[in-house]
Structure 1
């Protein structure tokens, strides 16, 4: 933290031969503070010690006087070696240049102590500033558990003023069994990203390390990231999960004439009564949660709870607690409270695990055990619990590739993919966009108590030809915004966001470039079919190609051949 070269050395000295007379020694003190005698060993006499010279015969040489009074030699050292334990501070220490091997100054024990005190103050200032710079609560304790650092964030997190805790044992404010720093002092092992509840009101993620000097633990430091609001928000979200389908006829809520979406719905209907895991795959916003709800309310678990957990929205260290729960008294001293996890909460119902690809590997292993045996352990207990829960998982990632990269548990992958339902993105099912728009218009007109507006044909064309990177969710949000902000009885293109209209181009159905009279009958029939497909898909060539069962390249060639723009 600091450099020893910053030491102020005393360079008021002179070096004399061992046979210099005592009279000359005393005369030297008129011009310097120290006299250094260079013999087999080095000796130092300070100006304050010159009165000892008057007690003997002046005719003696200084080396004879040294031998007579048994004067102790001094240590010669470099600046870098000063802090070593073998330095003898009974006499002032000579400092030499490590390269030139010449004496460059003197330092006394008193000067050294003052220097160390100054550096200690500087280190303390650096540490205090660092503790206040960090956005997390910072606590430091000595080997007895007494608090020696408590930053402003810690004051706010735990409502304990610095002056009320510094110098006191941390156990006086928190129950011993709930303090990670106690474990650090006892075991001497660091903790990284551990979920922790130091009291009944706070949820934190802890990083803690022992302070080690030599091989001895002399204290511990912990930083605690407050996630109380995240936990409470997650609990609020759990208590207000939106119902996306009609419970009485759940699969009717999933609109789609697209072949792939119809196939996905049929598979979902078949497995709704089978008590096996289902994996839903598809891009974000494509409707995975909606299909999960349809499977739940349309199957054997419909009378039970539908519980959802999003692996990407919860810190990985908290995810295990949220999924499996924890035993009473594990994270707080309150023996009366524990917490059931999502698996318990969904007993006799459905557990929907969103973005399971974000689940850490160690939790995947524990969850796999549950899928195989139907039983699990709460965190902090050896009591085996059993639940009957239907599991539906979703992902927008390619799990097979993640398995090959070692980022996803292979056995869990095979366990989940017995039934794999893939939901196509909205850009691949443009034929469904019009019906979805109509449904959302009715939904939000009712919600905001507005008359149902008409839709300009240009708007339909724009919406059908837009790529929809956010899929059905984005389309729903666009319609809600239009209904909320528009007070006219018709939806026009200027009511749409610029990012949607900027990608729009008008498809002109003019066929004047070719006279139908010059076409053969087969060609006329083919032209009519292509025109019908383009009309049904509002000019979307990709969708039209699918309806016609041909590639986009072939369709583009036909359009050019028949002069269709």
Structure 2
């Protein structure tokens, strides 16, 4: 740990034979800091000890004087051996070259102490600089729980100045039994990503580890990330999130004429009143949350709350407390402060678990127990709480293969898939795009107080042919974008995002020419017939939809079909 390789050795020394006279030793001490009597054992005399030999006869051999006064020997060591516990620092230590064995210098106890003190200050500087560089609160305590490090982020997080907590027991500022560091000191276990609430107003995620020396815990260090803002924002979103559908006619709010979406809606309507878990699968943005709302408001628990938990956005350390709540006094010294979890909040209603595949396995085990018994314990609680809450979960991942690979609790998987409703991606239900576009145009025109614009056939063709990797959510965002940007009451190519235009810009069979804005602009007869055929194909023969796509009336379309003898 210490950089003793760069230690300055004292080179002012000489070696003498055991029978060297004291007068010679005295003379050598006038020129050197140390004289060492060599042999099987080395004895060192420093020039500060000159007066001790001055009182004896000059002719006396030095070895006789050493035996007479019981002079302590000096240890011979290499630089790397100095830090071992066997080094005797009562006398100066001779340092030998580890390869050649030659004596190369001298180290005294005072020099060694100064070296250790300098290295300790250097390490402390590194440690405190690191603590200040981290964007999280850093706390370190010794084995007694006394605070030895408290960085500036900790000051801001807990509103406690460094000078008011350093050197004090951490339990004087926080309730001892709720402090992670106390568990660290008592049990020696590490903590990763644990939710923690050290006082009423603060929520943190904590990583903590014991400091161990020679198999003994000598302290603990914790790094805490303040997630108070996240928790409050999550609470605000939960309280302000509007319903996505018409609660009176929930399933009518979901647009879809394709056979796949109609089949999904039929299953959803049948199970809405059945108090069993439902798993919604499908790509991101396909409308799983909207269908969950429809099942809730179309079922027997429609008068109860609809509560959402997104397992992918809530940190794993917080998710357990978010779902199950926590008991009074567990995370804070205030015995009156507790929190009901989302399961309790959704009692007699529906709990919607978004991205359930992101739920950690240990929490899955506890959640499975709730699904099986409709009861659970709060975090830190001993009271069994029973609630009647319906569970709807969603995932965009292959949950079955995750369960087989041990990445998802297999029993929980089977519990959640009593009813599995898969929502097809938008690229497989292009016949729904026209109605979705119309709905979103009306929605955002009303929201931004703008007249309902006309959409050119070119724009509609692009919207029909685009793959929509973000599905309905992406389509909705695109419509909102061009409603905001539109000032001409007509939607043209430049209102669309560049990625959509670029996707089909080189395909003339799918994209009308740059100058074409309407079928009425006298396209050649053959080309007009091809355009009508393409529109009918894209709308699966739906003539009303094809007419809207082409920007003409349904009567005109019928006349054109008859004129060109189209099937």
TM superposition score normalised by structure 2: 0.90
The within-5 A match list for 1:445-524 is 445-504=445-504, 505-507=507-509
The within-5 A match list for 1:169-248 is 169-248=169-248
Contact persistence 2:44–2:92 (CA under 8 A): yes
> 1:522 matched to which residue of 2?
none
Could you tell me how far apart the structure 2 residues matched to 1:160 and 1:15 are? 60
Contact persistence 1:464–1:540 (CA under 8 A): no
The within-5 A match list for 1:30-179 is 30-179=30-179
Deviation at 1:509, TM superposition (A): 11
> 2:518 matched to which residue of 1?
none
**Which range moved further: 80-89 or 150-159?**
80-89
User: Where do 5+ consecutive residues of structure 1 fail to align?
Assistant: 511-528, 544-563
SS in structure 1 of the partner of residue 245 of structure 2: coil
Q: Show CA shifts across 1:33-60 (max 9, x none).
A: 1111112310011111122222222222
Q: Show CA shifts across 1:157-206 (max 9, x none).
A: 11111112111221222122222112222222222211100000100111
SS in structure 1 of the partner of residue 106 of structure 2: strand
Deviation at 1:539, TM superposition (A): 8.6
SS in structure 1 of the partner of residue 376 of structure 2: strand
Deviation at 1:148, TM superposition (A): 1.1
Q: Is structure 2 residue 427 aligned with structure 1 residue 427?
A: yes
Could you tell me how far apart the structure 1 residues matched to 2:458 and 2:53 are? 112
Could you tell me how far apart the structure 2 residues matched to 1:445 and 1:140 are? 57
**Which range moved further: 135-144 or 428-437?**
135-144
Q: Is structure 2 residue 293 aligned with structure 1 residue 265?
A: no
**Which range moved further: 265-274 or 183-192?**
183-192
Could you tell me how far apart the structure 1 residues matched to 2:538 and 2:458 are? 9
Could you tell me how far apart the structure 2 residues matched to 1:289 and 1:72 are? 84
Contact persistence 1:17–1:38 (CA under 8 A): yes
Deviation at 1:381, TM superposition (A): 1.3
Deviation at 1:376, TM superposition (A): 1.0
Q: Is structure 2 residue 309 aligned with structure 1 residue 343?
A: no
Could you tell me how far apart the structure 2 residues matched to 1:437 and 1:533 are? 21
Contact persistence 1:356–1:394 (CA under 8 A): yes
Contact persistence 1:146–1:166 (CA under 8 A): yes
Change (3 A) 1:440 1:508: closer
Could you tell me how far apart the structure 1 residues matched to 2:531 and 2:32 are? 110
Contact persistence 2:279–2:419 (CA under 8 A): yes
**Which range moved further: 53-62 or 431-440?**
53-62
> 1:516 matched to which residue of 2?
none
Deviation at 1:213, TM superposition (A): 2.3
SS in structure 1 of the partner of residue 222 of structure 2: strand
Could you tell me how far apart the structure 1 residues matched to 2:30 and 2:54 are? 15
- Paired residues in the alignment total 527
SS in structure 1 of the partner of residue 402 of structure 2: helix
The within-5 A match list for 1:325-344 is 325-344=325-344
> 1:323 matched to which residue of 2?
323
Deviation at 1:537, TM superposition (A): 4.1
> 1:305 matched to which residue of 2?
305
Change (3 A) 1:170 1:508: closer
SS in structure 2 of the partner of residue 72 of structure 1: coil
Change (3 A) 1:122 1:240: same
Change (3 A) 1:88 1:327: same
Could you tell me how far apart the structure 2 residues matched to 1:158 and 1:446 are? 46
Contact persistence 1:431–1:537 (CA under 8 A): no
**Which range moved further: 15-24 or 430-439?**
15-24
SS in structure 2 of the partner of residue 197 of structure 1: strand
Deviation at 1:540, TM superposition (A): 9.6
> 1:383 matched to which residue of 2?
383
Could you tell me how far apart the structure 2 residues matched to 1:3 and 1:318 are? 42
Contact persistence 2:465–2:510 (CA under 8 A): no
> 2:561 matched to which residue of 1?
none
Contact persistence 2:482–2:495 (CA under 8 A): yes
Superposition RMSD on alpha carbons, in Å?
2.2
Could you tell me how far apart the structure 2 residues matched to 1:444 and 1:324 are? 38
TM superposition score normalised by structure 1: 0.90
Contact persistence 2:147–2:170 (CA under 8 A): yes
> 1:560 matched to which residue of 2?
none
